Amino acid sequence: MEKAINILLADDHLLVRNGIKSLLEEESYLHVVGEAANGQEALDLAKKIQPDLLIIDVRMPVMDGIEAVGHLKNYAPDTKAIVLSMHDSEEYILKSIKAGASGYLLKDTGKSEFLKAIKTIYQGGKYFSGDISNVIVTNYLQNTVPKESPKSTIDNAAKLTRKEIEILHFILSGMTNTEISGKLGKSKRTIETHRFNLMKKMNVKNLIELSSKAKELGFS
């Protein structure tokens, strides 16, 4: 039997909360131990209940979900937060991460992915939906990749793994992550990880720069 995971739900729509609660409690190890209709109420309940996870909507009255996540550690230091939203905007995603969220899922996420996210985050990991992880990677590359000398870039490119080089050729041929995933029989998340690593090694921020650098280094 799996260890019980205690969950606090926060959403200002009762029907949404009921739907999520019903979905979660189909699994015997998931227990919804509290419900809140706004961010402040979620924090007060978190302090009282000390749940394992807080699953919280972004847009709510009194205090929104992202602000609540930012204060969560002061109320329930060991509670991890999953932001659940209809919005896949870069602004919401990055604000949630900066506030301390361990995951960000869209409300149309399937049950299997939802459960995987809960388990991953409960065990100390992070989880972001596939499309969302693309936003994170893009932002990371745009803001944190240091400027390197041509020699450094060449040295890093020489360290590309065989799989990264294979994926590089697929990318340069115009294939999407989903198409590459099907071609190689790997998950989309695995392809995204390889893509992130090769772009970081080649010191590029987007597909145009990747294509140019690949040509410069003789990969195309």
pLDDT of residue 188: 87
pLDDT of residue 143: 56
Are residue 104 and residue 126 in the same domain, yes or no? Answer: yes
pLDDT of residue 139: 62
pLDDT of residue 201: 82
Sheet with 5-10, side-by-side order of all strands: 30-36, 5-10, 53-57, 80-85, 103-106, 127-128
List the Cα angle 22/25/26 in 5-degree steps: 90
Beta strands in 72-154 (DSSP E): 80-85, 103-106, 127-128
Please give the Cα distance from 215 to 159 (Å, whole number): 17
Residue 139 within a domain: no
Convert the pLDDT of each residue in 147-184 to its tens digit: 444 444 444 445 677 788 888 888 888 888 888 888 88
Give the CATH number for residue 108.
3.40.50.2300
pLDDT of residue 93: 84
pLDDT of residue 154: 40
Low-confidence stretches of the chain (pLDDT beneath 70): 1, 130-159, 217-220
User: For residue 204, what are the domain limits?
Assistant: 144-216
**Three-state secondary structure call for residue 5:** strand
pLDDT of residue 150: 46
Number of structural domains found in the chain: 2
